[in-house]
Amino acid sequence: MDGQLGFSELFLSANGRASRLPSVVAAVVLLGLAALYEALVEDMLPRLLTGWLIYPALIYCGACVLSKRLHDRGRSGWWAALILLSIAACWPHPANFLDFAFFLVLLWAVVELAVMPGEPGANRYGANPLRPLAPV
């Protein structure tokens, strides 16, 4: 392995680790696709008919990207479920007081996943994606 993540590995596999830049770019792409979908499909009936295909695909890809980044920070990928739930609760904007708690989760996620660096060496999820293991 050369340390480079392919498109399919980043978006379709929750195993391994991913560094900050590919993870943040992937998250922005997924959020952009969700916003574009909602802008293009404004009527409720077409959204009901096509949303059951689009949203699960976006959620699955988001879970994979988040899991890889959480693994890089040494955290369980299951934390991605809380982050995705918070995104769904606050999307497109917070509406009630409980959404404030979800907003705090999203604030934690941004700091934890977009600001903080990954663990410097190998951890239980794999080698550091920025410094892959040298060939023997």
**Structural domain spans, the chain:** 17-115
Residue 99 has pLDDT above 80, yes or no: yes
Q: How far is CA 82 from CA 34, 67, 79, 87, 105, in A?
A: 18, 11, 5, 9, 8
pLDDT reported for residue 1: 42
Question: Which pLDDT band, with edges at 50, 70 and 90, does 2 fall under?
Answer: very low
Q: Of all residues in the chain, what percent carry a pLDDT higher than 90?
A: 60
**pLDDT (mean) for 47-73:** 92
Which pTM does this prediction carry?
0.86
Region class of 57: left (phi > 0), else alpha (psi between -120 and 50), else beta = alpha
What are the tokens at 16? Answer: 């391994």
Q: Name, in order, each residue with C-beta under 8 angstroms of 62's C-beta and a sequence gap of 6 or more.
A: 27, 30, 80, 84, 87
**Per-residue pLDDT averaged across 111-133, rounded?**
89
SS3 at position 126: strand
